[in-house]
Structure 1
Amino acid sequence: MRVSRVLYVAGAITLCWLVAAALICLRGVTMPFDGADVAVVFGNALAVDGTPKPILAARLDTAVKCHRAGLCPVLFVSGSIDGPGLNEATAMRAWLIGHGVKQNAIVVDEHGDNTLASARNAVAFMREHRMTRVMLVTQYYHLPRARLAFERAGAAVVLGAFPHRFRAMDVYSSWREVPAYAVYFARLALDENAKPVSFRPVRFLMRLFSKSE
């Protein structure tokens, strides 16, 4: 009897989790797409040679298409440092320049350690330049949480674009996005000024050693 109850609870939790993941993905793929003042491209993993891996390259390709269509004149690339020589933001800038985007159309944010940090940094830039419309460029399952972060940061109009490519890994990523979205929603509901929280072991060690020199 006790085993069947545990299985029932586990099944109910799994079902709720699956439904939540499906709703997150649905919200992502149905986000409005239109012209914006700036497009924010979220960083992702780099290869050992410092170039964008396929996920990030797909985001950048989506941003370039938006830029060439005249829908996002400014590209704001936001990422962090993953290790020696692995700077996501500068790697994104180099990729964009290599694909024909003029350097003066690119803004580099090297402090986008996480989604909330990227949102705060980008919205600060928008306010400084009197921009109101932002296009978020990331994976479809990440768009709802990114949109939440930007809206809480004060962005007036939040739009979305994503690479139209499905990978088997997306199943796991959308599953993982459920608790991530729940944590963001709860933290920002309790405190709109909640500090971005992230831990990058390599970056931490680099800072530690630089202070000791």
Structure 2
Amino acid sequence: MSLQVSLDSFRASITLIRTYVSIAFQTDPATGHYILTSDQREFITDSAFLKVFIAWESFLESAFNKYMLGIASINGIVIARHASPRDEVHANDMLIGTQKYVDWTRGDVVVALSRIYFDPGNPFEVNINSLTSDLQDLKTVRNSAAHMSSTTSIKLDALATRLLGTRVIGATVSSVIFAVDPTSTTSSTFFDVYLSKLDVAAEAIANA
């Protein structure tokens, strides 16, 4: 499997997630009202956002394994590696080491692993470092989607307050990610902004 396939798979997952979200917010042509209830829309939104993380983590793992195996990037570049695993399973075992799994949601972990197995300045290090604050924001939303508690609620409110520039209390996943980014010149929602940043990073990593 090539890096192009890894990138295409990630993008296909994101396209499907967008479709789910679109279905959740369909309106009745006759009344203009949402077809689904607010609880149903929130459920789909939360689930869809969790799928975004799964798609991103799957892409990182796939790309990491391929580069460790010496597979060339989409642009035909073979990045310098410091390991020679037998196959993707072996490569993944090397990444996991003595841990139970690789926490691909932590940018510092991904960067640390990239410095161990590849030369400094590799596509993971460069692109993940550029996403540090965005990945932390996404993880805050992800945690709220996975389990809303007093702790995650406070963090989500704090994130919404910072993003929107006004105090927010009682934020929900959908109210945050579908809010319009006040800094956007195209009235893009934070959902679109974050997905765009992930796509740019994924393409840069796959192209090395």
Report the TM range for the smaller structure's normalisation.
Answer: under 0.3
- Could you tell me the TM-score, scaled by structure 1's length? 0.24
Larger strand percent? 1
Larger helix percent? 2
- Could you tell me the TM-score, scaled by structure 2's length? 0.25
